[in-house]
Amino acid sequence: MTLRLFHCSMIFFLPINPRFSSITVTDKDGEKRWKRVEVRLKDHVHVPVFASGMSAQFYDECLDHYLSKTAMEEFPQSQPLWEVHIIKYPTSHAASNIVFKFHHSLGDGISLMGALLSCLKRADNPSLPSTFPSAKLHTSKDGGNFSMFRKVPRFLSSAYNTLSEICSTIVKSSLVEDDKTPIRSRHPGVEFLPLSITTTTFSLDHIKQIRARLGVTLNDVITGTIFLGTRMYMETASQGSGNARSTSLVLLNTRMHGGYRSVQEMVKPDAELPWGNHFAFLNIPIPKLRDADQARNNPLQFVFDARKVIKKRRSSFGVYLTAKYLQLVGRFLGPERASKYIHGTLENTSMGITNLMGPTEQLAVADNPINGLYFVVTGAPQVHVNSPENNFRSKFNIINELKTVCFDANTEPYGRSGELCGKSQGCFAGGKGFHRFTEAQVTHREGI
């Protein structure tokens, strides 16, 4: 299997984009640019060696320690910014584990996951392409027959929300920061602390039942559930913090079309889903808990309230203007300035949320079935929750990537008391085969 992964790395990663075989150098004018270099796969593919003949629980600890160490290590600047780690020891969840680590300058989640999916085949029939859930557009029940009396208020509301979102983004990046809470310690350099990763599992069937009852989207339910669990944890860890000022950054893909395309399609000049970094973010205030007992007794109302907040922000054009602003900053002021802007926004907020769509069929790599695809963003000075959708399993998991272990991996909305100083991640998984297939993107202070 190791040799086949070497071959996969050479075939798929190197031709994708010149950056997979380039390093950054500074020219005589002091400007950084990409320089093509020779790629030695032995520098990029790592196979750690642990003690042999040990228990699955022992290898669980070895894997957790290895992931924490690998996630926090910086890329060597003398070689291209990607790595593959193959852990060939059976844990309590899988026979083997593979970690793909990419620098964010190579591309965003859509680009990198598209590249990874190019290496995978369907487990049931490798000759057939993988399929993904279709993106459903939400249309108004009134059709297109709107009177002028309805169009004008909608336009004014959208304009107000857009202006509010732009102002909020600028203020959050430099002036106003969230309160100190159990999920935001304000400790300097928290992004460099060791990580601890656990998982919490939810039933997708239950989430779909809530979606049907409230008449909202799947992402609305997942986001509302995350917000509710976070607020209840905060209140349990520190009384009163459930009503503190806390903001979530919802990271969004700004491409005009959703889903994935093949690598060959993404790298075309006029591609509908172009390769690269095409994302922006919305500042979403995390709804306040107000009454913990009421939230426990009527959690659906909290989810519905969270949906209202998200819908209001989503109705603006702020996310597209933010994306354009980041592009202009990166083009005229350099990637370091754009990275500093993003880091400032992350540092002043409490949580980041994003998601990636998963395939509807089980996949395999080198003829080995994959248990789940997980992705983790490291190096950000805040809590991160990623909520991917994986339809070939009936479970929705959340990876809790913490600086201090304090979020118990069970079905309760909050776990042990303690201070959460770092980040958490969402994922999808289930079944047998490879347990983690991780996209670790190091973003802090290394450009975008």
Domain ranges of the chain: 2-122, 155-356+380-431
Q: What is the pTM of this model?
A: 0.75
244 band by pLDDT with thresholds 50, 70 and 90? very high
* C-alpha dihedral (384, 409, 241, 444), degrees to nearest 10: -20
Per the CB < 8 A criterion, the answer to whether 340 and 403 are in contact is no
Q: Could you tell me which residues come within 8 angstroms of residue 23 by beta carbon, excluding any fewer than 6 positions away? A: 34, 35, 37, 77, 78, 79, 80, 81
pLDDT for 301 beyond 60 = yes
Give the pLDDT score at 258. Answer: 61
Strand partners, 375: 439
Question: Token match 């939400």: residue?
Answer: 138
Q: Which own/partner contact pairs does 290-293 have at CB distance under 8 Å and 24+ positions apart?
A: 290/242, 290/243, 292/232, 292/235, 292/242
DSSP SS3 for 203: strand
Which H or E element spans position 173? Answer: helix 148-174
- Do the first three CATH levels of 2-122 and 155-356+380-431 match, i.e. the same topology? yes
Question: Token match 């459930």: residue?
Answer: 242
DSSP SS3 for 120: coil
pLDDT for 32 beyond 70 = yes
Per the CB < 8 A criterion, the answer to whether 84 and 48 are in contact is no
424 band by pLDDT with thresholds 50, 70 and 90? very low
State the DSSP code for 360.
S
pLDDT for 429 beyond 70 = no
CA neighbor of 197 nearest in space, from 99, 104, 342:
99
Per the CB < 8 A criterion, the answer to whether 381 and 178 are in contact is no
Give the pLDDT score at 4. Answer: 61
Per the CB < 8 A criterion, the answer to whether 85 and 101 are in contact is yes
Which class is 2-122 in CATH? alpha beta
Give the pLDDT score at 199. Answer: 64
- 82-87 and 97-103 strand pairing: antiparallel
Per the CB < 8 A criterion, the answer to whether 39 and 14 are in contact is yes
Distance CA 110, CA 101 (A): 15
Per the CB < 8 A criterion, the answer to whether 47 and 7 are in contact is no
pLDDT for 48 beyond 70 = yes
Q: At what angle do helices 299-314 and 204-214 cross, to 10 degrees?
A: 70
12 band by pLDDT with thresholds 50, 70 and 90? low
Give the pLDDT score at 53. Answer: 94
The matching CATH number, chosen from 1.10.3470, 3.30.1380, 3.30.160, 3.30.559, for 155-356+380-431 is 3.30.559
Alpha helices in 193-287 (DSSP H): 204-214, 218-237, 263-266
Distance CA 394, CA 34 (A): 43
Q: pLDDT for 179-210, tens place per residue?
A: 999 888 877 777 777 766 666 667 778 888 88
State the DSSP code for 180.
P
